[in-house]
Amino acid sequence: MTLSYYLALSGLLFTIGLFGVLTRRNVIGILMSIELMLNAANINFVAFNRFLYPGQYAGQLNAIFIITLAAAEVVVGLALVMAIYKNIKSVYVEDYNILKG
């Protein structure tokens, strides 16, 4: 296994995530796509650390930080989805159209 396999995997995950964010109609789906993108970055960090800078811990530490950040973000995100679901009774983004202009 070389670095390039890992980078290809992370690039693929990132692209799938970005595609999902741009095309999904369901808010939960968009949230999941964002998580995919975050994990693509994690794979990058750990793979770079393992193959390019084997003496360090910085990459692995960063990955742990990012997992924590992602958890914090998704908690707030789901709470906001709950809040809007109570108001609008829909999880589809095209129904969120009170604000425009």
Partner 1 sequence: MSNLILLNPEIILACAGLLILLAGAFIGESRAKLLFHLGTISAAAVLGMVVTQAVMAAYGNGTMWVLDPAAQLFKFIILLATVFTLLLSVNYHAIQPRHVGTYTALVLWASCGMMFLSGAMDLIYLLISLELISISCFILTGFEQKNPRSAEGAIKYFLMGGLSTAVTIYGISLFYGATGTTNLFNYVSSVDLHFNDPAYIMGMLFILVGFGFKISMVPFHFWAPDAYEGAPTPITAYLSVASKLAALGAMMRIFASVIPHYAISSTLVIAVLAALTMTVGNLTALFQTNVKRLLAYSSIAQAGYMLIGLVVADPIGRESVFFYALAYLVTNMGAFAVAMVVAGKTGSYELDAYDGLARRSLGLSIVMVMFLLSLAGIPPLVGFVGKFYLFASAVNSHTYLWLAVLGVVNSVVSVYYYMNIARRMFFSESKDVSAVETDIYTAGVIFVTSAATLLMGLLPETFMRIVKGCVSFHS
Residue 69 as a binder of partner 1 (CB under 8 A): the answer is yes
Instruction: Identify which of residues 8 and 93 has a Cβ nearer to partner 1 in the complex.
Output: 93
Q: How far is the CB of 7 from partner 1 (least distance, A)?
A: 8
Cβ proximity of 35 and 74 under 8 Å:
yes
Take residue 67 and report the two structure tokens written for it.
């997992």
Quote the crossing angle between the two packed helices 27-51 and 58-88, to the nearest 10°: 180
Residues 6+ apart with CB under 8 A from 37: 13, 14, 17, 18, 21
Residue 54 as a binder of partner 1 (CB under 8 A): the answer is no
Residue 15 as a binder of partner 1 (CB under 8 A): the answer is no
Cβ proximity of 43 and 6 under 8 Å:
yes
Residue 57 as a binder of partner 1 (CB under 8 A): the answer is no
**Interface contacts to partner 1, rule CB under 8 A:** 10, 14, 17, 21, 27, 30-31, 34, 37-38, 40-42, 44-45, 48-49, 52-53, 56, 58-59, 62, 65-66, 69, 72-73, 76-77, 79-81, 83-84, 86-88, 93, 96, 98-101
